[in-house]
Amino acid sequence: KEADIEVELKKANIEKIDYILEEAEKPETAVKSKKEIFEERILSLVLKSPENLSFISEDYFPLFSNQTKEILTELKKEPDFFKKESLSPELKNFLNELCFKREIEENEVEPKEEIETCLKEIHLLISKNKLDEISQAIKKAEQEKNTEKINILTKEFQMLSQKLNEN
């Protein structure tokens, strides 16, 4: 009987099945963008100490994702809003994850400096993305031989580049 089982197992090609099972068992982890990482860092610092929210000017709010903007706005209104029962399960999970991250972080970081660094990096990332968009638009305008649009976009590109160099 054992010989029959071995023959049947060889026919079934167990190695392929094991590989398929291993692939199916791997958890899917979403790759986060740099911007998301910086936003989460800011949020974890604010959740750790709500007074850190005072280091974030409302001028920076347009740079954030809608979720981060919403959380910061709610925290300004009510520092303990994340303890509310009415929060969506997704938001609760996200905030719990951030709270967990803040608990395992080292405490040697100066929150104000860290927040300022994250804000600068977010601003830099957004500016670089805008430069890429303008660059693509210039290429398209060149293909269309639209000199007026090329001139306008080139000036916009130069102005944004100059602002980046000043910071």
Query: What are the pLDDT digits (tens) for 77-126?
Result: 887 777 777 778 888 888 888 877 777 766 667 888 989 999 999 999 99
Distance set, CA 77 to CA 46, 74, 80, 82 (Å):
13, 5, 9, 11
Question: Token pair for residue 39?
Answer: 């936003």
Span 32-84, pLDDT tens digits:
889 999 999 899 888 888 888 888 988 888 989 988 988 888 888 887 777 77
Burial 139-155 (b: 16+ CB within 10 A, else e): eebeeeeeeeebeebee
